[in-house]
């Protein structure tokens, strides 16, 4: 019945013989990846040799050279670097936050500075702390209640949203805007309940953006366990003040690169398919799930297509984007070059949701109408949930040159245990799940290359 539906959907575009041929090719690539795939060992190399790959850092520069060699080893026809200027934020010494209890006792909290946060003076910032759960509550309290205090924004990610990225999308505005929204009312510091669906002791960093018309105040995340603890202490009126100390600073922009590997198309070389992830990572850990997984999966797409003897009809590029985490400059530079080079960018596929079991793809509507009939070819490998949506932050700029964009959708339930936290390490990635993601990406890229959009 599934194959009958397939033929009804595709009509004359793909013959029964082509369907069988495609099924065999994808099976061959799947067998190659699952048996001889290099993605997992590549991930080990990237994480262990260049952890904490924040843009502008020495390890980000090291990762550029590691990725270049991986693409060469994968058999790319051409490997090159695409320049981009990136922000250079430095965390400095380990942040400190201590509760000064009403009884005179001090309690340390598990915290980290949010990305792009300013630091404190050497003595730190010490002030009363006030808890809010929303911007509406912050606005109602206003300057009279907020001025001179540290705002603790305690907004849990919604457990009832089954797709945890929907919960993240609902909550992330508090991280991005919270410090400036608090500074508007005279707050001297900002403390965010970390964006995680779990209760644990890991604070998660991530970008905050300052309103340049307002004072910049130090901005921390506190672990979910300690957020619960702090909320309880405040309700019991047990806290006198909160002390924050950090040495963060923003340095001038610095040169960096996207890393690009290319298999040139033999029939339509000027039609470009982009598959990629972001090479940079936050500085607390190894950046395995975010986004080492997407990097090595994208390299694996090139490797298996070359190893399987496929001569792609259209040009396939694996792009290791720089600076997704705190600026998006790599994706912007790639799209800007695409607008000038006279080529036809037809599809951009991103993997930036972790190396977990693949569930499907999110694809723009105009592309999904063409791709939907291919679903039975990838369903055996886990990608059975195809939905209308878009791509990730690095490929979305390609919509400016009329490319269709999409994103691999792995199972989301565990991602925010690791996202932007110190436990985002190689050992937390399952080899088989990682490789299955690469299988589905390779299958989709192969089909777009063969049939176009």
**For residue range 292-316, what is the model confidence (pLDDT) as tens digits?**
999 999 999 999 999 999 999 999 9
Asked if 376 and 6 count as a contact pair (C-beta separation under 8 A), the reply is yes
Domains by residue range for the chain, with CATH? 2-87+252-451 (3.40.630.10), 92-247 (3.50.30.30)
Distance CA 70, CA 258 (A): 14
Asked if 150 and 243 count as a contact pair (C-beta separation under 8 A), the reply is no
The neighbour count for residue 36, using CB atoms within 10 Å, is 10
pLDDT, residue 104, reads 87
Task: Specify the residue for token string 């909160």.
Answer: 242
Asked if 202 and 421 count as a contact pair (C-beta separation under 8 A), the reply is yes
| Cα four-point dihedral sign 274, 279, 280, 286 | positive
Burial class (CB in 10 A: 0-12, 13-18, 19+), 309: exposed
Task: Specify the residue for token string 């006279």.
Answer: 342
pLDDT, residue 6, reads 47
Asked if 212 and 66 count as a contact pair (C-beta separation under 8 A), the reply is no
Helix (H, G, I), strand (E, B) or coil at 232: helix
Give, in order, the Cα–Cα distances in Å from 395 to each of 178, 273, 275, 278, 407: 27, 11, 8, 10, 9
- Which pair of structure tokens corresponds to residue 24? 């065999």
Distance CA 331, CA 276 (A): 10
Asked if 146 and 182 count as a contact pair (C-beta separation under 8 A), the reply is yes
Q: What is the pLDDT along the chain (453 residues), one digit of tens a residue?
A: 444 444 444 443 556 788 899 999 999 999 999 999 999 999 999 999 999 999 999 999 999 999 999 999 999 999 999 999 999 999 999 999 999 999 889 999 999 999 999 999 999 999 999 999 999 999 999 999 999 999 999 999 999 999 999 999 999 999 999 999 999 999 999 999 999 999 999 999 999 999 999 999 999 999 999 999 999 999 999 999 999 999 999 999 999 999 999 999 999 999 999 999 999 999 999 999 999 999 999 999 999 999 999 999 999 999 999 999 999 999 999 999 999 999 999 999 999 999 999 999 999 999 999 999 999 999 999 999 999 999 999 999 999 999 999 999 999 999 999 999 999 999 999 999 999 999 999 999 999 999 999
Instruction: Report the run of H or E that residue 447 belongs to, with start and end.
Output: helix 431-451
pLDDT tens, position by position, 150-204: 999 999 999 999 999 999 999 999 999 999 999 999 999 999 999 999 999 999 9
User: What are the backbone dihedrals phi and psi of residue 428, each rounded to the nearest 5 degrees, phi first?
Assistant: -85, 0
In sequence order, the 6+-apart residues with CB closer than 8 A to the CB of 36 are 307
Give, in order, the Cα–Cα distances in Å from 119 to each of 123, 145, 205: 11, 24, 15
Distance CA 30, CA 19 (A): 16
**Largest pairwise CA distance in the chain:** 79
Shortest CA distance to 75 belongs to which of 209, 228, 262?
262
Asked if 260 and 322 count as a contact pair (C-beta separation under 8 A), the reply is no
Distance CA 80, CA 214 (A): 41
One DSSP character per residue, 418-433 reads HTTSTT--GGGS-HHH
Distance CA 297, CA 300 (A): 5
Distance from chain centroid for Cα 411: 14
Asked if 302 and 365 count as a contact pair (C-beta separation under 8 A), the reply is no
The neighbour count for residue 61, using CB atoms within 10 Å, is 17
- Beta strand 150-153 pairing with 268-278: unpaired
pLDDT, residue 14, reads 56
Distance CA 129, CA 131 (A): 7
- Beta strand 239-245 pairing with 96-101: antiparallel
pLDDT, residue 2, reads 47
Active-site annotation, residues: 324
The DSSP letter of residue 207 is B
Shortest CA distance to 18 belongs to which of 343, 404, 313?
313
pLDDT, residue 11, reads 44
Distance CA 190, CA 203 (A): 14
> To 5 degrees, how large is the angle CA 19–CA 20–CA 26?
90
pLDDT, residue 166, reads 96
pLDDT tens, position by position, 362-407: 999 999 999 999 999 999 999 999 999 999 999 999 999 999 999 9
User: What are the backbone dihedrals phi and psi of residue 412, each rounded to the nearest 5 degrees, phi first?
Assistant: -100, 0
């Amino acid at each position: 019945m599934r194959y009958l539906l397939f033929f009804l959907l595709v009509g004359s575009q793909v013959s029964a013989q082509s369907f069988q041929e495609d099924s065999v090719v994808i099976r061959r690539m799947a067998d190659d990846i699952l048996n001889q795939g290099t993605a997992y060992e590549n991930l080990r190399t990237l994480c262990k040799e260049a952890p904490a790959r924040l843009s502008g850092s020495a390890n980000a520069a090291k990762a550029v050279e590691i990725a270049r060699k991986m693409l060469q080893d994968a058999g790319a026809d051409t490997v090159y670097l695409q320049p981009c200027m990136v922000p250079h934020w430095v965390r400095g010494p380990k942040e400190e936050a201590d509760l000064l209890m009403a009884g005179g006792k001090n309690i340390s909290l598990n915290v980290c500075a949010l990305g792009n946060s300013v630091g404190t003076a050497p003595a730190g910032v010490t002030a009363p702390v006030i808890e809010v759960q929303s911007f509406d509550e912050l606005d109602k309290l206003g300057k009279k209640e907020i001025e001179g205090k540290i705002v603790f924004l305690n907004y849990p990610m919604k457990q009832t949203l089954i797709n945890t990225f929907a919960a993240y999308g609902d909550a992330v505005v508090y991280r991005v805007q919270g410090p400036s929204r608090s500074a508007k009312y005279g707050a001297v510091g900002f403390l965010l309940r970390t964006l995680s669906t779990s209760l644990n002791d890991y604070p998660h960093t991530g970008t905050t953006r300052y309103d340049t018309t307002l004072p910049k105040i130090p901005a921390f995340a506190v672990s979910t366990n300690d957020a619960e603890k702090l909320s309880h202490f405040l309700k019991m009126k047990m806290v006198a003040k909160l002390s924050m100390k950090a040495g963060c600073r923003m340095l001038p922009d610095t040169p960096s690169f996207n890393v690009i590997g290319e298999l040139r198309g033999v029939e339509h070389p000027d039609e470009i398919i982009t598959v990629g992830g972001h090479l940079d990572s936050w500085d607390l850990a190894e950046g395995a799930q975010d986004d080492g997984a997407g990097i090595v999966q994208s390299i694996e797409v090139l490797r298996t297509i070359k190893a399987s003897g496929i001569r792609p009809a259209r040009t396939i590029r694996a792009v290791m984007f720089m600076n997704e985490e705190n600026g998006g400059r790599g994706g912007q530079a790639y799209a800007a070059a695409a607008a000038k080079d006279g080529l036809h960018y037809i599809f951009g596929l991103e993997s930036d949701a972790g190396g977990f079991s693949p569930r499907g793809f999110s694809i723009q509507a105009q592309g999904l109408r063409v791709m939907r009939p291919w679903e039975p070819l990838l369903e055996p490998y886990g990608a059975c949930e195809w939905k209308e949506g878009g791509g990730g932050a690095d490929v979305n700029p390609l919509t400016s040159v009329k490319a269709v964009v999409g994103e691999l959708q792995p199972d989301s339930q565990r991602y925010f245990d690791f996202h932007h936290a110190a436990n985002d390490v190689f050992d937390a990635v399952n080899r088989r799940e990682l490789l299955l993601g690469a299988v589905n990406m390779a299958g989709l890229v192969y089909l777009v290359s063969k049939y176009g959009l």
